[in-house]
Structure 1
Amino acid sequence: MKDIILIYLLASLAYKFIWRRLVKFLNLSRIVSLPGRNVFGLVISGVNKPEIYVALTKLLAKYNVLPVNSLIVSRNGEVEITTFLDFTSSKISPKKLSEELKRIACIKNVEHIRPLSEGLIVDTYHFPLIVSGERACIFRKSVLKGLFRDIKEKFRDAGKVFLYYQGVKVGENVYEDYKKYVKTSRDILFLFAEAVKAIGWGIVEIVHADFNEKIFLIKLYESIECELCKPANEPCGYFSKGIIAGLLSKLTNTSLKVNEIMCIAKGDPYCLFEAKPVKENY
């Protein structure tokens, strides 16, 4: 038994060590805080040609202005570049830099995003946020804690049931949405796995997917829902479990029951969900 416990602990430590080095964090930078730095935001719009990027890079290098974060969106031959810049070591002002940018032939307009205070800037230029053509909203961990942990503490079993059935509905909606992009059930499932990582919910690994027997085994690493519940004595992924149940039930056209066998909230290295057909009672 001691050997098994030791192996388990070593596996958990190895996973955390490797994961920290493989995962590439992405700071969306809707809010940039660099105390003591002279930061300023520019929204540059123009024709999507290589010249616009070359000219911008040359100007930043010429005046020793450092990019902090940038977002480039192009459509129909037009481009919008949103960039937060650090002018601390530069002798040019944001206004003067904007004037020089406007002289470039392929740049049509330059808008400003001013800092709220020294070193603090918020992207208030863009609203609303859109993901895959639908309006979206970003919740930080401190807000999600109230949605996924506190509701279970306050309402106990009722809160868990509520989260599960909310998840089921989300999973059903995911199916309806994703079938617009891919055709087969297997492709929808693997698109879901990639999307979960893309939105920051966790990292999905499809361990087993038998569409004939309708049995599935899914690992979810770094689940934000379950991370919020640490430490716990039982699995906490009720919302995630509901999403998986709703999606897989749609994919198989069968009512599936999902159990969370392992959970990071209680010290496991990942969350593990098992899905199989609901047994009917006669």
Structure 2
Amino acid sequence: MVDLRSWGIREIYFPDRKIVVTSVELESGINNIINILKSLSEHGINILSCILQAHPDRPLVQTTLFLDLTDADIVSEEVSSLLRATSYVKRIELLDLPLNHGEARLVVFTLEDIHYLFGMLRELGNGGLAIMYHMGFRAGKALAERILSYFKDSKRSLMYTLLYNESLGHGKFKLEEYIERAYCRIVARELSECLEVKSDKPNSQLFRGILAGCISKLWDEEVEVKETKCIAMGDPYCEFEVEIK
């Protein structure tokens, strides 16, 4: 019997398709988004999914695209060049590897649902906070184990982890500093776990656990993750520092 949990979506559902995921940051404006989609379509690229994250007071839009290049007249490397040639695309990351999105299906919770579930755990006190942290830790470690089968570079693996979580709508992430097996600093904007939460101390447990589990596996070392800034405390973004214990 085949263990489907070890297979990516491409092997299970699309064994012969060339599927890639790309994250694009571009200037706000509906015409810019339409032009990107039109340009991709003109090259025979099938757009499987387009996830947009925007804010009315911000000049840039974040979009995650799942693309099928099977019948395209360009290869994945040329997709990056095509989009970078426009004046309004500011950043692009493209990954060509087996995807784990939807190994069975994606389950969507509203932000209100998430806050309700997390609120119940917080009412349990330190025990509930520990549950949230260790849920994240195990999820982060499992994700890192899958990623390491494709990337041998720890930094690139971490950047993919951040992109993966970003594509799921968990927030917008940037690796600000990185010293291999020693230290890194990550900025998280609009972290879903902390949105619309008011607190006098750092609020993140789940994502902090995800980082701890992931990076401890990537570095093969026990690490400590501290949330040094948090939007729940009124900071403009959440910030995490990771060090070897």
- TM (normalized to structure 1)? 0.53
Query: Equivalences for 1:142-153 in 2 at 5 Å?
Result: 142-152=112-122
Separation (CA, whole Å) in 1 of partners of 2:228 and 2:124:
23
Letter in 2 for 1:266: M
Matched, 1:263 2:230: yes
Query: Equivalences for 1:228-267 in 2 at 5 Å?
Result: 228=196, 230-267=197-234
Letter in 2 for 1:190: M
Query: Equivalences for 1:176-215 in 2 at 5 Å?
Result: 176-212=145-181, 214-215=182-183
Q: Name the counterpart of 1:67.
A: none
Query: Equivalences for 1:20-169 in 2 at 5 Å?
Result: 20-24=58-62, 131=101, 133-152=103-122, 154-169=123-138
Q: Name the counterpart of 1:221.
A: 189
Q: 1:251 to 1:74 in 2, by over 3 A?
A: closer
Question: What displacement does 1:74 show?
Answer: 6.3
* Secondary structure at the counterpart of residue 201 of structure 2: coil
* Aligned-residue identity in percent: 26
Letter in 1 for 2:231: I
Contact 2:136 2:206 in 1 (8 A): yes
Q: How many residues align?
A: 164
* Secondary structure at the counterpart of residue 146 of structure 1: helix
Separation (CA, whole Å) in 1 of partners of 2:198 and 2:63:
24
Contact 2:224 2:244 in 1 (8 A): yes
Letter in 2 for 1:234: K
Contact 2:148 2:218 in 1 (8 A): no
Question: What displacement does 1:25 show?
Answer: 7.0
Question: What displacement does 1:138 show?
Answer: 1.0
Runs of 4+ in 1 over 4 A off after TM superposition: 16-19, 72-77
Q: 1:140 to 1:74 in 2, by over 3 A?
A: same
Contact 2:176 2:186 in 1 (8 A): yes
Q: Which runs of 5+ in 1 are unaligned?
A: 1-15, 27-71, 78-129
Separation (CA, whole Å) in 1 of partners of 2:67 and 2:156:
27
Question: What displacement does 1:208 show?
Answer: 1.0
* Secondary structure at the counterpart of residue 198 of structure 2: coil
Separation (CA, whole Å) in 2 of partners of 1:207 and 1:73:
28
Greater RCO, 1 or 2 (C-alpha within 8 Å, sep 6+): 2
- 1:34-88 CA-partner distances (Å, limit 9, x unpaired): xxxxxxxxxxxxxxxxxxxxxxxxxxxxxxxxxxxxxx996988xxxxxxxxxxx
Question: What displacement does 1:148 show?
Answer: 2.0
Matched, 1:173 2:211: no
The two structures, once aligned, show a CA RMSD in angstroms of 2.8
Question: What displacement does 1:132 show?
Answer: 5.0
- 1:135-173 CA-partner distances (Å, limit 9, x unpaired): 321111121112223321x11211111111111101101
Q: 1:156 to 1:215 in 2, by over 3 A?
A: same
Separation (CA, whole Å) in 1 of partners of 2:200 and 2:143:
30
Matched, 1:276 2:230: no
Find the structure with the greater CA-based Rg.
Answer: 1
Separation (CA, whole Å) in 2 of partners of 1:217 and 1:161:
22
* Secondary structure at the counterpart of residue 235 of structure 2: coil
- TM (normalized to structure 2)? 0.60
